[in-house]
Amino acid sequence: NPSVLCSIMFGSRVLMCPEMQCALDEFSQIVHKVFEHSSRLMNFPPRLAQLLHLRIWRDFESNVGEVLQQGASIIELCISLQRAQPQSEQEQEEALYHKLQAAAVPSEMIKRIFVDLVIAAGDTTAFSSQWALYVLSCDQPLQRRIAQERAAAESQLLHGLIKEALRLYPVAPFIGRYMPQDTQIGGHYVEKGTLVLISLYTSGRDPAHFEQPLKVLPERWILGQTEQVHQSHGTLPFAIGQRSCIGRRVALKQLHMLLGKCASQFSMQCLNEQPVDCILRMVTVPNQTLRLALTLKPKVAAL
């Protein structure tokens, strides 16, 4: 979420400021609106919406402007807080902002990078976390195995669980690319400039790509046990190439820490009475509110 990214960018000390927390909460709400209005533009050509000055375009344009303005305000606030309370050399070395400054990156570019990171890992990471917790809460034996693995300072199953959650519930269900040249895809001629959509949701559940595709099998990703993965590129939750997700490392780190702590410290159970299904929008969201019960394990409580 924006708080984590702000901590990575400027150090954790800035989060202690109440004014900063209010600014980040407002920023999160604006970013959420950007996703809402972007999803509406999926059903209408954006260029035509812009040309006709339709409301769906005006709303989107307004929200993007708000995001950039609020992002710039947050950065200015962080800079002023750092000036009021200078950081140690170690804190400066850990903060991404100082590394970008040292690399002579212009201040306007730093603001854009911060906003891009928040948009890339805002709602996306939140929903990825929800789906991963849902998958884990439905499998108590897997919870125990991951807890045992964590106690032994290992993480193969945990990495596999994250891959399985992203395979079954890709946060971005579709990837779109404009063809740079004329080509043949699946026996069909596609002209240069044509928009081609890939359904990651369908690809990740294709038995031609994965053995027993609807089952959660973290072991399929463990080296030496990959016979259940026929085509690893059947799942591309962060896309691939130059336009792959810039928030990938941040998102995976958050998921790893969250799921590892939950499996180690809590017993989880899904309380939804009806099967949970997906709604495929700009991001993959559940069709109902997830109701997950977390009970602190006795040994942890005793500590």
The CATH number of whichever domain residue 242 belongs to comes to: 1.10.630.10
Q: What is the pLDDT of residue 226?
A: 60
Spatial separation of the C-alpha atoms in residues 303 and 169, rounded to whole Å: 35
What is the DSSP code (8-state) at residue 207? T
Q: What is the pLDDT of residue 3?
A: 77
Residues 238 and 166 in one domain: yes
Domain boundary among 95, 121, 147: 121
C-alpha separations of 121 from 17, 31, 171, 249, 279 in Å: 22, 10, 10, 10, 19
Residues 56 and 197 in one domain: no
Q: What is the pLDDT of residue 201?
A: 94
Residues 110 and 127 in one domain: no
State the residue range of the domain holding 163.
123-302
Spatial separation of the C-alpha atoms in residues 190 and 181, rounded to whole Å: 9
Residues 257 and 285 in one domain: yes
Distance of alpha carbon 84 from the chain centroid: 33
Task: Give the mean pLDDT of the chain.
Answer: 85
Q: What three-state secondary structure class fits 231?
A: coil
Residues 127 and 149 in one domain: yes
Domain boundary among 121, 145, 163: 121
Distance of alpha carbon 81 from the chain centroid: 28
Residues 208 and 267 in one domain: yes
- Count the domains in the chain: 2
Burial class (CB in 10 A: 0-12, 13-18, 19+), 40: middle
Domain boundary among 100, 121, 142: 121
Low-confidence ranges of the chain (pLDDT < 50): 302-303
Residues 113 and 166 in one domain: no
Contact 174, 200 (CB under 8 A): yes
Contact 213, 204 (CB under 8 A): yes
Residues 33 and 166 in one domain: no
Spatial separation of the C-alpha atoms in residues 196 and 237, rounded to whole Å: 17
